[in-house]
Structure 1
Amino acid sequence: MNENSNDVMAVGLADYGGPEVLQVVRLRPESLEPGHVRLRVLAAAVNPTDVVVRTGGRAQSDRPITIDVPGMDAAGVVTEIAPDVTSVAVGDRVIALVIPSGEHGAYRTDVVVPEATVTAAPRGLTHAEAATLPLNGMTGWLALRALALNAGDVLAVTGAAGALGGYVVQLAKHAGLTVVADASAEDRALVSRLGADVVVPRGPGFAAAVREVYPDGVAGLVDASVQGAEVLPAVRDGGAVVTVRGYRGDGTDRVRVTPIISIEAIGSGALDEIRQLAEERVLDPRVADVVPASEAQQAHRRLQAGGLRGRIVLDLS
């Protein structure tokens, strides 16, 4: 496509594969439908779900790939609204949860999204910080709702030093739960600062370490690091587990296992609640780095290498 003033800059892919398939491309603007909002995206967080898009894990088998644009987390400014939109106005700073499909994704400077997926950006946060909130914040919010624990109950969290796990720890403490979380030696101080009451070593001995502290097992578990069956023994009989990659348990029904996806929270008020909690500093957005969109390949390589303590954010300004 020849570049002109109406084109939208994006990071997309024409073939599925490694980080090298990500390229800066030019796309046409999306049309504004009723109930939708147009955003000038200024920052987009890089998430593991973006890797799934890049590698074809969400490919539609009956649709040949043209250009796919990853990205679920966007922060920016409202530039246009449909006549029936009432919750935001042109010029508002906002965050949005974007559901990628074809050329529609957060890695583009202009995106049109449903009103229900947009809320005001938290006051006091940069665009980069705000961009880390929608996907992981809503997933953590949904996880705690699915567990339905009571104040004082004990919740175990895997992957507590990561973006999702860290938000789960902070949301759990805000809800009055006692939290036991995993961490490497280097991350113990971080996980404690996030609010964990007890920190156990990260790794294959997680369940046994939790049982040493809580011999009867914990009431609930959020498996943010996707360890699956090996962490289930940490949970007491009749307890509850939330997973984020579709794992449905070991088939014994000893514990209740609930797989969740963030889009289940759309329209629930979760995104606005996440905004409020960020303004109140209940949630602490962590940005590992901010890089130009042209460095998306390297951002994906760093994400897949592991060890990030926060999200890399693409600067689309």
Structure 2
Amino acid sequence: MRAAVVTSFGGPEAVEVVETAVPEPGAGQIRIKVAAAALNPVDAGVRQGVFGGAGERIGLGWDVAGTVDATGAGAAWTVGEEVVALHYGTVKPLGTHAEYVVVDADAVAKAPAGADAVHAATLALNALTAAQALDLLEVTPGRSLLVTGAAGAVGGYALQLAAHRGITVAALAREADEELVRSLGAARLAGAGEGGFDAVLDAAVLGEAALERVRDGGAYLGVIPHAEPASVRGVRTGAVEVAADGRRLAELSRLAEEGVLTLRVAETFALDDAQKAHARLAEGGVRGRLVLVP
């Protein structure tokens, strides 16, 4: 089978599509025939060597949508079921940017009914990150929340999930994206230098500039583990490290079916054009996810 990997770190040109053996599922695992797999900023980080792994062949891709192709012992899935999954891991020999991928059965959920595989592939990593981040922030209705990078994938899901929970949320985004973020649930755009928020989800990785917008004793959460700014003024700081969770992913899949979550695709690329997809991601300004199709 074909798979996108890196064997040395660098720019988009470091991505290689190689021939490799089809992986076999072990106990408690399933193999998915990949129909589509999203490209995320974490993949660029892996490609650049941010997470280490020098000298190894590292597979790319965390998100996947496809069909169950084989099951290991104890995996309660049926061959042919349409599923989505998060394949967690920064340094792994194979990722989801491949024709087949093996994942733990408890990281899998049924794909959203009515969504094609390309759109379904945008769900797992970003929606789980947003949901788990909101849990950590412990924001409740009546409290104020600011989401930076609100037009992005994590930010957009965070807006929709917060609005669904009855939380009034302000968005930090470009003026050109105001219509988009309002459509995703933002009550308004945050003003320049506006502060005093009970909580901030810093999906744009602004760091201290976002921390300044939190009231004394509030909460700040970043999206890069161990990269959050130090606490000041009694503000609780931290970062979400996404965890694979099939049960939670199933809830998010149902919300996508119900229209609570919007599955946004910016552009699709063939797996063989993975370098081009990475180059497009590096250009920035993507609204929705780039998706690779084997």
TM bucket normalised to smaller: over 0.9
Which of 1 and 2 has greater Rg? 1
Structure 2 Cα separation of the partners of residues 21 and 38 of structure 1: 27
Q: Which residue is equivalent to 2:256?
A: 278
Specify every segment of 5 or more residues in structure 1 that has no aligned partner in the other structure, as ranges: 1-7, 212-216
Deviation for aligned residue 1:248:
3.0
Amino acid in structure 2 at the alignment position of 1:73: D
For structure 2, list consecutive stretches of 5 or more residues without a partner in the other structure: none
Tell me the residue number matched to 1:214: none
Aligned equivalent of 1:248? 228
1:301 and 2:294 aligned: no
* Matched residue, 1:158: 148
Q: Which amino acid aligns with 2:223?
A: V
| Deviation by residue 1:201-234 (Cα, 9 ceiling, x = unmatched) | 6xxx4xx2x33xxxxx111110000000011121
CA distance in 1, matches of 2:147, 2:73: 43
In structure 1, distance between residues paired with 2:184 and 2:278: 26
- The alignment covers a number of residue pairs equal to 292
The match for 1:3 is none
| Corresponding residue to 1:269 among 230, 247, 261 | 247
CA apart distance, 1:152: 2.2
Matched with 1:27 is 20
- Does the 8 Å contact 2:3/2:94 carry over to 1? no
Partner of 1:106: 96
Query: In the alignment, residue 40 of structure 2 is paired with which amino acid?
Result: N
The SS at the match of 1:262 is coil
Residues 243-272 of structure 1, C-alpha deviation per residue, up to 9 Å, x if partnerless?
Answer: 111333334252111211112xx3472211
Letter in 2 for 1:47: N
1:224 corresponding residue in structure 2 = 203
Matches within 5 A, 1:117-136: 117-136=107-126
Matches within 5 A, 1:180-219: 180-200=170-190, 205=192, 208=193, 210-211=194-195, 217-219=196-198
State the TM-score, normalizing by the size of structure 1: 0.89
**Matched residue of 2:238: which SS?**
strand
Give the CA deviation at 1:55: 1.1
More off after superposition, 241-250 vs 136-145: 241-250
Structure 1 residues 135-144 or 20-29, which shifts more? 20-29
1:304, CA displacement in angstroms? 1.3
User: Paired residue for 1:95, among 81, 84, 87?
Assistant: 84
- The separation in 1 between residues aligned to 2:96 and 2:111, in whole angstroms, is 16
Summarize the Cα distance change of 1:253–1:30 in structure 2 as closer, same or farther, 3 Å threshold: farther
Q: Deviations over 1:175-223 (max 9, x none)?
A: 110011012121111111111001136xxx4xx2x33xxxxx1111100
Q: Residue by residue, what CA displacement relative to the aligned partner does 1:148-183 show, whole Å, maximum 9, x if unpaired?
A: 111122110000011110000000000110011012
SS at match of 2:190: strand
Alpha-carbon separation, structure 1, partners of 2:39 and 2:228 = 26
1:54 aligned partner, one-letter code: R
Which structure 1 residue ranges, 4+ long, deviate > 3 Å from structure 2?
Answer: none
Percent of pairs with identical residues: 39
Residue equivalent to 1:234:
213
Taking the aligned partners of 1:167 and 1:178, their CA distance within structure 2 comes to 14
Note if contact 2:61-2:97 (Cα within 8 Å) is conserved in structure 1: yes
Helix, strand or coil at the partner of 1:281: coil
Tell me which amino acid in the other structure corresponds to 1:221: V
